[in-house]
Amino acid sequence: MRNQTEISSFTLVGLSDHPLTMNALFGLFLLIYLMTLITNLLIFFLVLTDHHLHNPMYFFLANLAFVDMSYSSVTAPRMLYDLAMKSRSISIPACIAQVFFYLSFLSSEIFLLSAMSYDRYIAICHPLHYKLIISWRVCAYMASMVWVAGCTNALVHALLLLRLSFCRTSSIQNFFCDLPHLYQITCTDPFINMVVLFLEGASVGLGAFLLTFLPYVYIFRKRKAFSTCTSHLTVVFIFYGSLIFIYLVPSSSNMVNLEKNVFSHICPH
């Protein structure tokens, strides 16, 4: 029996408590978000309206622009609202919904980068068979699989969040809801959630990572037009670098908590 009352909302700690700093951050992030939104919208509609760009490479680029735009829109508007209104409360259902959409677009971008790598591999290493292999039917199938896989992956973690209860501190040490922070404040044992997160990251994440980089290894070994892929590779390195920094380099306190949790299951008293 729990000796604490379950809560119905969280408080997002955010980036700062100082009013002047919050106003400055609001202006800065509003500018960054608008630039991100406008740039990706221009790319998306340019590919959509210009028939010269109606080919698989730009089709995937339009999908990537849409993912980036949506990915930013999951967290940025909420952060801007909190900075402007000085209100940081978010209900648990809204928090879980944010986790779902955040992971959906994050996972979709991971799979989409893999699809784009495969497209570049076929275009560079098998140019004579490119139109036969990467047909519009194949493009539609690959894009559908990207979105289905992304939503499925996010749905698994969102449903697992429903088994957790929150009765400790209601403060999330971030400006948006994310799995590691929710696991830290739950009063339910999150061991199952963390195991699923680890296994999913190790299998799906590693698989997508290999599918993204292996085609470029082959392109490089064959001394093909490697320079034509630098823009995509730059996006890949920035994206995976950010993921590694955020999720695979935990703080010392988080590592200690994780070790304690795992150890308590392996060696129970």
Lowest mean per-residue pLDDT among 39-43, 130-134, 211-215, 251-255:
251-255
Domain boundaries, the chain: 9-266
Q: Which fold has domain 9-266?
A: Rhopdopsin 7-helix transmembrane proteins (1.20.1070)
Alpha carbon distances (Å) from 207 to 187, 220, 247: 33, 20, 17
- What is the model's pTM? 0.83
User: Average pLDDT for residues 140-150, to the nearest whole number?
Assistant: 95
Contact predicate 2/166, CB 8 Å: no
Q: Is the dihedral of CA 97, 98, 101, 104 positive or negative?
A: negative
Of 70, 61, 41, whose CA–CA distance to 115 is shortest?
Answer: 61
* Cβ-proximal residues to 158 (8 Å cutoff; 6+ apart), any chain: 96, 97, 99, 100, 103
Which pairs count as long-range contacts for 156-159, CB under 8 Å and 24+ apart, including other chains? 156/196, 156/200, 157/99, 157/100, 157/103, 157/193, 157/196, 157/197, 157/200, 158/96, 158/97, 158/99, 158/100, 158/103
How far is the C-alpha of 121 from the C-alpha of 95, rounded, in Å? 39
Task: Give the model confidence (pLDDT) of 84-122 as tens digits.
Answer: 887 788 999 999 999 999 999 999 999 999 999 999 899
| CB-based contact 139:173 (threshold 8 Å) | no
**pLDDT tens digits, 148-172:** 999 999 999 999 999 998 876 678 8
Q: Residue 82: pLDDT above 60?
A: yes
